[in-house]
Structure 1
């Protein structure tokens, strides 16, 4: 299938979805409905060449953070949550004492 957006033509082939027609019926609001189940889910293509404003990017290449990077982020997050708690307690105490925070 060819799609056109702002004068640019794209080829698009939608993934096929297989549906199981098991003949299962359900009643809802007094009406009988035939229920169909999907046989298998198709994965979307993740290895795409994406270009945004001239800069190329691969959608599948996500950097995997190292253990040191994860530890560093946890320490930073903990520090920020402590700082937020301190500022919150400071403003509450200042409000109780009538001091502008």
Structure 2
């Protein structure tokens, strides 16, 4: 496929993946939709240590499952605490408004 960007033309050939038709997964708007499975797994790029403007980084950062689970648990905890704090703030503002309307403040 020939593409052009800012006056520069180039040839783009997207990677094609061979798939096999799977079983029917369900219906959507009257049409069947199916799962598609890859015939062979995709080739992963090798891990490389790189440097950009003096800062070292890796193209495939490796995080252990424990670290990932800890991050998810911490994020869930923060979301729960934020919801509780928002509910408390809403209740306090409603009570303050009621006190103002009744002439207590």
What is the TM-score normalised by the length of structure 1?
0.44
Task: Determine which structure has greater relative contact order: mean sequence separation of CA pairs < 8 Å that are 6+ residues apart, divided by chain length.
Answer: 1
Specify which structure has the higher proportion of helix: 2
